[in-house]
Structure 1
């Protein structure tokens, strides 16, 4: 392998593919599709469907089982690093089965640069290939489009963070708008809800998208209920939300 192309494919909606992404998929000799177990097979199926819809060139598509993260490790960071090592080894093992493929591509949810570890995993490959990134529509952009809202107030900053960070450290100083990703436990529950509006969506951009918005005090419980029901129905959930609080006077 001489080149590795990481292709942002948006949030699961084939319409999110850019022309650049379509060209990159057709230019690859080998495309890798990870399998995350039967409960998440529809994620692999979406990748298969995208390839079937847009690839017209003779491209080999290979699937492999994605290692699972060991959540028993007391160190979250070390657990993630070990997981990334295992994923890189799985990539290399599958690539080795296709020794004539000089250009390999991976389809990445959203964009490879925003709360995604594909670039960090790619850096573990040896020998190191030339890496190209094709940007994609992020879930944050799809969220604000779904609710038809701007991400920032006039001239004001905003912060993109994680549910873990919000839960552990509360609302950061200096901003009144937060975009919260990777939140498996509805971390907004730790906040004093008065004066905060939430814009939430699950499966954003997909056919089964669910979107709710309103005052956090009354909408938060509805989101928790809707999220639990959706996870039970589908076996998995991807969601994201934006929090906006009233700017402090003075």
Structure 2
């Protein structure tokens, strides 16, 4: 039987790997490393570094493949994502059958954790035939962001909301919460909010050597974050960031 292991590898620091992740990497017959174009070659490099550091099983093979690009111009957002997931699933299937004959264990090293704003589980369930799916949890970008700022995420006895930049920009501040975690923000959605009484804790390239963090009153540091984010994106060709907003009483 084919088993697909989705292994959370944290946010960039190989020291964040759990023992379970190391064991799962070494238990794999085949490790697939996705390439996302030259602009995001750092992500493939990190996966190669992790394999070089912890892989001791001489029979485990490593294969790389190119991921299809999502059509960002698709008017229907959900349909565009569904079509992209279908294309990624087909790419996974081709990569598996090209490098593994019959049964075995295939591993994908998932940035952060497969449970949070990651599509690997949804894509895995589109494979035909459907493999047995194994998930190895990893450190999320939210955990890494809180650690970088030495910040407790929730206030005592209070809830928080995790959302996307698109939802924050379109819907404004969510009702019923004073703490909001924002991920997948392509264009600094915090600039669409009234900055009065808001504080921000922001981080980019968390866990990587180029990690950048900044915090403070949104009215004061928001413009600086936007400028720094643009500079970092131009320098690297890509950026992966997240931030926490808290509303003061």
Normalised to the residue count of structure 2, the TM-score between the two structures is 0.98
Show the counterpart of 1:236.
238
Q: Is the 8 A contact 2:2 2:102 kept in 1?
A: no
Partners in 2 of 1:154 and 1:72 — Cα distance? Answer: 42
Show the counterpart of 2:172.
170
Show the counterpart of 1:191.
193
Partners in 2 of 1:184 and 1:73 — Cα distance? Answer: 16
SS of the residue corresponding to residue 225 of structure 1 reads: helix
Q: How does 1:88-237 map to 2 (within 5 A)?
A: 88-97=89-98, 98-100=100-102, 102-237=104-239
Partners in 1 of 2:116 and 2:80 — Cα distance? Answer: 20
Partners in 2 of 1:219 and 1:15 — Cα distance? Answer: 31
For each residue in 1:157-202, what CA deviation from the matched residue of structure 2 results, as whole angstroms up to 9, or x when unmatched? 0011100000000111110000000000100111110110000000
For each residue in 1:55-95, what CA deviation from the matched residue of structure 2 results, as whole angstroms up to 9, or x when unmatched? 00021000000000011211111111100000000000011
Partners in 1 of 2:72 and 2:112 — Cα distance? Answer: 24
Show structure 1 runs of 5+ residues with no match: none
Instruction: Provide runs of 4+ in structure 1 moved above 2 Å.
Output: none
Show the counterpart of 1:72.
73
Normalised to the residue count of structure 1, the TM-score between the two structures is 0.97
SS of the residue corresponding to residue 116 of structure 2 reads: coil
Q: CA deviation at 1:123?
A: 0.5
Show the counterpart of 1:84.
85
For each residue in 1:83-138, what CA deviation from the matched residue of structure 2 results, as whole angstroms up to 9, or x when unmatched? 00000000000111121451100000000000000000001001111101000000
Number of equivalenced pairs: 247
Q: Is the 8 A contact 1:197 1:245 kept in 2?
A: yes
Partners in 2 of 1:62 and 1:207 — Cα distance? Answer: 26
SS of the residue corresponding to residue 240 of structure 1 reads: strand
Q: Is the 8 A contact 1:29 1:101 kept in 2?
A: no
Partners in 1 of 2:108 and 2:167 — Cα distance? Answer: 29
